[in-house]
């Protein structure tokens, strides 16, 4: 019943390579995101 997680699976590693568009989207989103701390609250604003 119990699954042994210490044993390695013989599966091959899968390389995940994101598209250049995805990387650019995430970078632009993170640049436009602004977090404002007010007292004990946090506000997130997306600056376009």
Domains in the chain, number: 1
Helix (H) or strand (E) holding 10: none
Q: What is the pLDDT of residues 5-47, one digit of tens each?
A: 666 666 677 788 999 999 999 999 999 999 999 999 999 998 8
Task: Let me know if residue 35 belongs to a domain.
Answer: yes
Task: Let me know if residue 2 belongs to a domain.
Answer: no
Task: Let me know if residue 16 belongs to a domain.
Answer: no
Task: Let me know if residue 1 belongs to a domain.
Answer: no
pTM: 0.52
Q: Which residues of 9-20 are buried (b: 16+ CB within 10 A; e: fewer)?
A: eeeeeeeeeeee
Could you tell me the residue range of the domain that residue 40 belongs to? 21-48
pLDDT at 7: 64
């Amino acid at each position: 019943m119990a699954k042994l997680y210490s044993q390695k699976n013989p599966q091959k590693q899968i390389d995940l390579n994101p598209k250049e568009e995805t990387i650019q989207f995430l970078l632009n989103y993170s640049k436009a995101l602004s977090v404002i701390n007010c007292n004990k609250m946090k506000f997130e604003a997306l600056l376009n």
